[in-house]
């Protein structure tokens, strides 16, 4: 990326990796809406100047085989890391943000957190685990979602769609909210017991309306303690998600929007509710996410599509125009 909306192909030799890092030959790199934010929407990456985007990476390391690269690699040494909060590490490194990322044939990343992957057919399909699967798994772990809890996912697209599957696999009662019929259909197929068109909800009254629809569908859900996951990354979605907070409820903000959203934060006090941010995922969760995918509990294969790396400018432009019905994975070779 050389400027707003500008992707150019270039070739240059990589020097030996610095201490603590390793060179990964990229097998596939998923395209995330964060990449679109950097390229089109004015979101400033940490690295200034030309930058190779891409942070959903699966690749190969010489003598080690297939690996998943964390979307965010913590330092492992700071106060936050030592306290068990690696996602709060101020020195964390994100490919395609702090340094060149995975829209390339090779990338250099910290070696410490790589997750080994068994040899599988079409390994490029697993690239989405590096962010789109692990990030919602982190959100679920942060709120403490358990079997029998109510999980409401606002925005059932890429990340939110996988969150639906994770919550269902844990035995939660899952309700999906989205504005796209195809996403709602997929959410129902993957475990949502109720799917609601978000265009039919207003922020004020959203909680009562969801409770009403649940009762009409003969869903016996508690009227308190809901786990609400905001994955749409839109102002409207965030307003609805905040409006869904119940007494003792929990809100996980997983999606990102640069827009300012007016909220009455006193609701958190009045409802004795909790709110959580979600920056990437603890690298220790990657093995668990991989195991869930390989066991068939999370359907990554049908959610992604393969594209040649050289087609990246066109692929990102089409995704930005909402012309793709899948999560693109850029493949350098073959």
Q: Tens of pLDDT along 266-314?
A: 999 999 999 999 889 999 999 999 999 999 999 999 999 999 999 999 9
139 plus 127 within the same structural domain: no
Three-state secondary-structure class, residue 310: helix
pTM above the 0.75 mark? yes
> 295, 308, 281: which is closest to 115 by C-alpha?
281
Q: What are phi and psi of 65, to 5 degrees?
A: 85, -155
Q: How confident is the model at residue 334 (pLDDT cuts 50, 70, 90)?
A: low
Angle (CA) 125-131-134 rounded to 5° is: 100
The confidence score (pLDDT) of residue 333 equals 81
Question: Can you state the percent helix, strand and coil of the chain, rounding each to 5?
Answer: 35, 20, 45
Question: 174 φ, ψ to 5°?
Answer: -105, 130
Please report whether residue 234 resides in a domain: yes
Last residue of a domain, one of 276, 300, 318: 276
Q: Are residues 160 and 233 in the same domain?
A: yes
Distance CA 72, CA 252 (A): 18
Range of the domain at 125: 21-131+281-331
Q: Are residues 160 and 268 in the same domain?
A: yes
Same domain membership, residue 45 and residue 127: yes
Give the whole-number percent of the chain exceeding pLDDT 90.
Answer: 94
First-to-last alpha carbon distance for the chain, in angstroms, is 23
- Asked if residue 36 and residue 72 are part of one domain, the reply reads yes
Check which CATH number belongs to the domain holding 256 and give it.
3.40.50.720
User: What secondary structure does DSSP assign to 276-319, as a single string?
Assistant: E---S--GGGHHHHHHHHHTTSS--GGGEEEEEGGGHHHHHHHH
d(CA 232, CA 158): 9
Three-class SS of residue 228? strand
**Which residues is 3 bridged to in the sheet?**
6
- Helix (H) / strand (E) element for 34: namely helix 33-40
Determine the pLDDT at residue 223: 85
Give the number of domains in the chain.
2
For residue 108, pLDDT over 80 is answered with yes
Give the whole-number percent of the chain exceeding pLDDT 70.
100
**To 5 degrees, how large is the angle CA 292–CA 293–CA 294?**
95
Ranges of H-type helices in 201-294:
206-216, 235-243, 266-270, 286-294
The answer on 100 and 57 residing in a single domain is yes
CA 99, chain centre distance (Å): 19
pLDDT in tens, 134-157: 999 999 999 999 999 999 999 999
- Asked if residue 8 belongs to a domain, the reply is no
């Amino acid at each position: 990326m050389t400027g707003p909306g500008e992707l150019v192909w270039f070739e240059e030799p990589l020097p030996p990796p610095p201490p603590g890092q390793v060179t990964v030959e990229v097998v596939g790199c998923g395209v995330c809406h964060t990449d679109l934010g950097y390229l089109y929407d004015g979101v400033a990456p940490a690295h200034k100047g030309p930058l190779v985007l891409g942070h959903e990476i699966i690749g190969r390391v010489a003598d080690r085989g297939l690996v998943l690269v964390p979307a965010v690699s913590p330092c492992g040494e700071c106060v936050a890391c030592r306290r068990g909060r690696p996602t709060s590490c101020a020195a964390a490194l994100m490919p395609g943000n702090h340094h060149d990322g995975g829209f390339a044939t090779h990338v250099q990343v910290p070696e410490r957190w790589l997750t080994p992957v068994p040899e599988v057919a079409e390994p490029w399909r697993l690239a989405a685990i590096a962010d789109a699967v692990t990030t919602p798994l982190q959100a679920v772990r942060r709120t403490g979602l358990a079997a029998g809890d109510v999980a409401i996912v606002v925005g059932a697209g890429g990340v939110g769609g996988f969150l639906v599957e994770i919550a269902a696999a844990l035995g939660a009662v899952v309700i999906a909210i989205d504005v796209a019929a195809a996403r709602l259909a997929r959410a129902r197929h993957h475990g949502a017991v109720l799917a609601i068109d978000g265009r039919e909800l207003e922020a004020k009254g959203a909680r009562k309306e969801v409770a009403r629809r649940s009762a009409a569908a003969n869903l016996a859900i508690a009227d308190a303690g809901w786990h609400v996951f905001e994955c749409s990354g839109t102002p409207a979605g965030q307003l609805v998600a905040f409006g869904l907070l119940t007494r003792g409820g929990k809100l996980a903000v997983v999606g990102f929007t640069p827009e300012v959203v007016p909220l009455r934060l006193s609701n958190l006090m009045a409802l004795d509710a909790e709110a959580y941010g979600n920056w990437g995922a603890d690298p220790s969760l990657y093995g668990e996410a991989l195991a869930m995918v390989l066991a068939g509990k999370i359907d990554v294969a049908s959610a992604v599509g393969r594209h040649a790396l050289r087609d990246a400018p066109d692929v990102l432009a089409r995704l930005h125009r909402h012309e793709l019905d899948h999560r693109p994975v850029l493949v350098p070779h073959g």
